[in-house]
Amino acid sequence: MNVLSLFDGISCGQVALNRAGIKYDNYFASEINERAINITQKNFPATIQLGNVEDIDVADLPQIDLLIGGSPCQGFSLAGNQLNFDDPRSRLFFEYANMKTQLAPKYFLLENNRMKQEYQNVITDILGVEPIKINSSLLCAQNRARLYWTNIPTTVPEDKGNFLREIVGDYEGIWVYPRGWNKGGLQHYNWKSPTITTSSWEHNFFVVQNG
């Protein structure tokens, strides 16, 4: 099986395939962030890096059986400026759509943020399937609701009941640094944590332990 992962990041697609026990012959990756590429090649040295998604020539690729990707979400995010397809990053979705049309993979999967219905409908019309909404909080201790467009038979998983306290221990709250609309400060999460991200900021948040 040949896999093409667009916007591959640190190749979590390979992590998922391996955990699911799905065998593949070649894993082609499109990514431009050098740090992410370095991590991928350290963990998965057989990965075939293709560079910028806008520079890929499909004629150079074999038959692709599985096309996956999470096109940049900044333009769609309800927490951002919501430039949607006017944001050049989120407009890269059309590169994914073009690849799907040209390569005609047996299976495909696209992940993205929640967004305004009108833009969600654009993606749905182009890909030909309705998205499935899954919150990662069903499987881990983090709230991260995302949309998945796929022709792979999929069901929403049951809640495994994982909470942040089970991972970091008992805590008073989470100190969140100001970011955008988020005013920051000590916030109390007794159920699931907010989205945990890595970033270029010196600080993101830290857990305040009891006592």
| Chain-centre distance for alpha carbon 154 | 17
Give backbone dihedrals phi and psi of 9, rounded to 5 degrees, phi first. Answer: 60, -130
| Amino acid sitting at position 57 | D
Question: Residue 34: is its pLDDT beyond 50?
Answer: yes
pLDDT of 211 strictly over 50:
no
Tell me whether residue 12 is one of the annotated catalytic residues: no
> Is the pLDDT confidence value at 129 over 80?
yes
Tokens representing 103 are 């390569």
pLDDT band, very low/low/confident/very high, at 120 (cuts 50, 70, 90): confident
Q: In this predicted model, what pLDDT tens digit does every residue of 150-204 receive, in sequence order?
A: 999 988 989 888 877 776 666 666 666 565 555 666 665 566 666 655 444 444 4
pLDDT for residue 40: 96
- In the set 4, 64, 68, 73, the catalytic residue is 73
pTM, two decimal places: 0.81
Alpha helix positions (H), the chain: 12-19, 34-43, 93-103, 117-127, 165-168
Identity of the highest mean pLDDT range in 5-9, 180-184, 206-210: 5-9
In the chain, which ranges are E strands? 2-6, 26-30, 48-49, 66-69, 107-113, 132-135, 145-150, 171-176, 185-187, 205-209
Name the token pair of 180: 């955008």
Tokens 């998604």 correspond to: 53
Quick check: 36 and 4 in contact, CB under 8 A?
no
